[in-house]
């Protein structure tokens, strides 16, 4: 049987000049901060998945503002090979409230980030470079 990587999405959203991060409720990296995101459901587009996952984990509605990139290092997730499509989102409503796989949802300055799960430190560093050239 052929093994394929799992497809995931991650969201970068800025609120009041700070990035939104969730504290993970479940392993792996339980208790660590991460970008809101998760697995793409079968039959779902990555665009719909990132908006759905962001809403489920933060309580906030959002629209896609930009595409940031694809992250595909085979060891980025200890559960197995995942490939993540990362999007910048613009918040369009809702109330910030942790849900689904998130124990907490918090705001952090881009220059004072906590330790991050997965490769999310690299993703945010790439996003900061992206902002500098946009």
> Which residue range forms the structural domain that includes residue 113?
6-133
Q: Which of 73, 88, 104, 112 is catalytic?
A: 104
Q: When comparing pLDDT for 131 and 134, which is higher? A: 131
> Predicted confidence band at 1 (pLDDT cuts at 50, 70, 90)?
confident
Q: How far apart are the first and last CA of the chain?
A: 43
Q: Is there a domain that residue 123 lies in?
A: yes
Q: According to DSSP H, which parts of 27-119 are helical?
A: 46-58
103 within some domain: yes
Q: What is the CATH number of the domain that holds 111?
A: 3.90.79.10
Q: For residue 100, what pLDDT is reported? A: 82
pLDDT at 2 over 90: no
Please tell me the predicted confidence (pLDDT) of residue 134: 83
Catalytic residue flag (residue 104): yes
Domain count, the chain: 1
Tens of pLDDT, residues 39-68: 999 999 999 999 999 999 999 999 999 999
- Give the CA distances from residue 127 to residues 32, 68, 91, 101, in Å, rounded to whole numbers and listed in that order: 20, 7, 17, 24
Reply yes or no on whether the pLDDT at 30 is more than 90.
Answer: yes
118 or 100, which is more confident: 118
Residue 1 lies in a domain: no
Q: Is there a domain that residue 23 lies in?
A: yes
66-111 pLDDT, tens digit per residue, is 999 999 999 999 999 999 999 999 999 999 999 988 999 999 999 9
């Amino acid at each position: 049987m052929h093994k394929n990587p799992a497809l995931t999405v991650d969201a970068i959203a800025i609120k009041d000049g700070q990035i939104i991060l969730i504290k993970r409720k479940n392993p792996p990296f339980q208790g660590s901060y991460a970008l809101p995101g998760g697995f793409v459901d079968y039959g779902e587009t990555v665009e719909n998945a990132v908006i759905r996952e962001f809403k489920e984990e933060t309580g906030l509605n959002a629209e896609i503002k930009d595409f940031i990139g694809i992250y595909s290092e085979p060891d980025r997730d200890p559960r197995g090979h995942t490939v993540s499509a990362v999007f910048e989102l613009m918040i369009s409503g809702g109330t910030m409230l942790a849900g689904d796989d998130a124990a907490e949802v918090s705001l952090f300055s881009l220059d004072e980030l906590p330790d991050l799960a997965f490769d999310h430190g690299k993703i945010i560093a790439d996003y900061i470079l992206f902002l500098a050239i946009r």
